[in-house]
Amino acid sequence: GTYEVVVVGSCMTDLVSQAPRLPKAGETIHGHGFFIGFGGKGANQCVQAARLGTKTAMVCKVGKDFFGDNYIQNFKNNGISTEFVRQTEQAATGAATIIVNDEGENAIVIVAGANLLLGEEELQWVEPALGGAKVLVCQLEIEPDVTLLALRMARDRGGESAPVAQQSPPAVFPLPNVDVSALSALHMGSLAMYKSHRVTHITSQSVSCVFIQSVSSEVTHGIAQSYGAGDSFIGALAFYTAQYPTMPLEEMARRANQVAAISVQAAGTQASYPSRGGLPPHLF
Ligand code: RIB
Ligand code: NA
């Protein structure tokens, strides 16, 4: 099929413990909450784009295990195509152990597992879909070479690509039409877009500034549950890029901010992401 937004990236099961503070080395402390959520930067971004009403496909690898089966069902529940989701017996579904303290700060250990087995042969099947897509979104929770290959395929299919990647050494993405200045550390996920020249004007600083403003002005009570908010922002930005190609980038970022600001008002990543129906009409 054809998809407006294609995400080539990660899927993790988030195992979240809420505790008064983060434990020190060698220490055991009591927490007061635990839940399991669907996470991973790639899947989070895809789910947010899908919930805003764009046709999406996820390209990823999960384990042939309970968490992997559940994750595939989660994609279906969100209306995301699983045409390019593969299961492997060689590794477990990726997992993120997350501890959140009462200030909303977090510490995260990621075991990427099956995500690291997403390889070049899977991407060959995806190539036609990359050509038809308006936006390709990547992160750095899969092998960097595979991310690079996806970007290259998208570019060779006639698109422009401009990755803005989290903690990415610029050398990882030696694509000629990429704005390397945009590759410095960005604290809120990552994206790669093509067929959108304007995206090359994003700098990590301007984007994270806009985002921080919206968190402080829109959270009026409670603690900001900030992890995963960057993925909501990126997913929303992908949605606006796909569906409103003439909208100024600043306006897309402003609206994506408002979407992400809602996600910090509840715990979890995807569990807190808004759908189109729950958002004010002026965002569309
Ligand atoms: O960006 C938030 C995500 O980072 C979490 O869902 C966790 O899985 C980690 O990948
Ligand atoms: Na949240």
What's the gap in Å between 41 CA and the centre of ligand 1? 5
Radius of gyration of the chain (CA): 18
What's the gap in Å between 95 CA and the centre of ligand 1? 9
User: Is residue 35 within 8 Å of residue 48, measured between CB atoms?
Assistant: no
Q: Is the CB of 44 under 6 A from ligand 1?
A: yes
Please tell me the residue having the least CA distance from ligand 1 atom 10.
Answer: 40
Please tell me the residue having the least CA distance from ligand 1 atom 9.
Answer: 40
User: What pLDDT was estimated at residue 223?
Assistant: 57
User: What pLDDT was estimated at residue 282?
Assistant: 95
Per-10-residue mean pLDDT, the chain, length 284: 89 96 96 96 95 97 98 98 97 96 87 96 88 81 86 68 38 35 31 31 35 38 68 88 83 84 86 95 96
What's the gap in Å between 249 CA and the centre of ligand 1? 25
Q: Burial level of 247, CB count in 10 A (0-12/13-18/19+)?
A: middle
What's the gap in Å between 246 CA and the centre of ligand 1? 31
Q: Is the CB of 113 under 6 A from ligand 1?
A: no
User: Is residue 81 within 8 Å of residue 54, measured between CB atoms?
Assistant: no
User: What pLDDT was estimated at residue 203?
Assistant: 35
Q: Is the CB of 188 under 6 A from ligand 1?
A: no
191-193 and 162-164: which strand pairing?
antiparallel
Q: Three-state DSSP class for 246?
A: coil
- Residue 231 is a catalytic residue: yes
What is the spatial distance between Cα 39 and Cα 100, in angstroms, rounded to a whole number?
15
Q: For residue 111, how many other CB atoms are within 10 A of its CB?
A: 15
Q: Is the CB of 12 under 6 A from ligand 1?
A: yes
User: What pLDDT was estimated at residue 109?
Assistant: 93
**Choice among 14, 145, 179, 231 that is catalytic:** 231
pTM summary value: 0.84
User: What pLDDT was estimated at residue 151?
Assistant: 78
Ligand nearest to the CA of 190: 1
Measure the CA angle with vertex 125, ends 124 and 129; round to 5°.
105
User: What pLDDT was estimated at residue 226?
Assistant: 73
